[in-house]
Structure 1
Amino acid sequence: MTPVLYLDFDGVLHPADVRVTASEPKRPRVYNGGSTNHPLLEHAPLLERILAPFADVKIVLSTSWVRVLGYEYTMQQLPAALRERVVGTIWQGELLQHPPRTRYDAIQSDANNRGVTRWLALDDDTEGWPDEQRYALIAPNNFWYGLAQPGVADELSQALALLCAGKPLESRLPQETHVPSTVERIFGLG
């Protein structure tokens, strides 16, 4: 089974606040209290470098750009090396007409429809992700830096290595260990 990376754009490949206007519906721009000249997809080359050792990884677009700007337009914004990996989007058919409540629901539904069992999501939207599935999500939490946020690129590389080696992604998260309370220690209950 081919490993899949579900890819979001906003908050991952560039800052999270991207908008289009009625006068320029096909010209998304980064905002920061107003329109800026900040480059879109500025971290795409970083993603290319991270994915380079993992030739088997395919990309499914989970970005809302597909719903707003269309699949072809969205794909064409990616550099060729990433575009070649794209095998589709979560926003098709029923999901396009009636989007699920959360991105997690949309990704899980798409993975089920595709029969994908080895997948990872790169997305800043953490709403609705069950704790027991967080291992499958790499989520930058700095809306401005996204993938360039310190530690995120390394986390993605490590998760991709596990995914491509067929190892459980659950192993990438720290395991909770029980630390006995003072009462447990005093009374020998721990």
Structure 2
Amino acid sequence: MTAEKPAAPLHVVYLDFDGPMHPDSVYRTRNGIELLHYLGHSQFEHVPLLEDALAPYPDVRIVLSRSWQLLEGGYEYAASRLSANLQARCIGGTFDRRQTRKAWFESVSRPDQVLLDVKRRQPAGWIAVDDCPDE
């Protein structure tokens, strides 16, 4: 009988897109989701920076936070906007339709959304990458 290797402790980056991954002026328009008012910038322009920052930590996972996971297509659509490297690290979002109603989720502050997810997942360590100064 062989002993099973214990699972590695979970370490999570809670990732917001608007601000950390590109300027925060992203809106839903008739043409889809567009980055407005920032000439010379593009959506997800900072993905390579996050890839480089996480490269020394292959066991760190990503949980998506906030509104992108509420768009049509949900978590899967939001995760698909990241590089394949970062997608492979994604394990879910702070919004869990099985446990939370959308209207309630939208009324809760982002820090509280993250803290509720921390309570649910119980990671050994976590950090939120977010630009929201008032929360």
TM-score per shorter chain, which class?
A: 0.7 to 0.9
Q: What is the CA–CA distance in structure 2 between the aligned matches of 1:37 and 1:65, rounded to whole Å? A: 22
Correspondence for 1:79 among 57, 71, 83: 83
Q: What is the CA–CA distance in structure 1 between the aligned matches of 2:19 and 2:12, rounded to whole Å? A: 20
TM-score relative to the length of structure 1: 0.60
Note closer, same or farther for the CA distance 1:127–1:52 as it changes in structure 2 (3 Å cut).
Answer: same
Q: What is the CA–CA distance in structure 1 between the aligned matches of 2:103 and 2:120, rounded to whole Å? A: 16
Question: Which structure has greater strand proportion?
Answer: 2
Note closer, same or farther for the CA distance 1:37–1:95 as it changes in structure 2 (3 Å cut).
Answer: farther
Paired residues for 1:49-128 under 5 Å: 49-69=52-72, 70-93=74-97, 94=100, 96-99=102-105, 100-128=107-135
Task: Verify the 8 A CA contact 1:60 1:90 in the aligned structure 2.
Answer: yes
Amino acid at match of 1:119: W
Range with bigger deviation, 59-68 or 83-92: 59-68
**1:38 and 2:45 matched:** no
Which consecutive unaligned segments of at least 5 residues does structure 2 have?
1-8
Per-residue deviation, 1:2:
1.3
Per-residue deviation, 1:44:
0.2
Task: Verify the 8 A CA contact 2:51 2:86 in the aligned structure 1.
Answer: yes
In the other structure, the counterpart of 1:28 is 33
Q: What is the CA–CA distance in structure 1 between the aligned matches of 2:68 and 2:117, rounded to whole Å? A: 17
Per-residue deviation, 1:96:
3.2
Which consecutive unaligned segments of at least 5 residues does structure 1 have?
129-190
Large movers: runs of 4+ above 2 Å: none
When Rg is computed on C-alpha atoms for both structures, the one with the higher figure is 1
Q: What is the CA–CA distance in structure 2 between the aligned matches of 1:63 and 1:30, rounded to whole Å? A: 17
| Cα-Cα RMSD | 1.8
Per-residue deviation, 1:32:
1.1
**1:10 and 2:18 matched:** yes
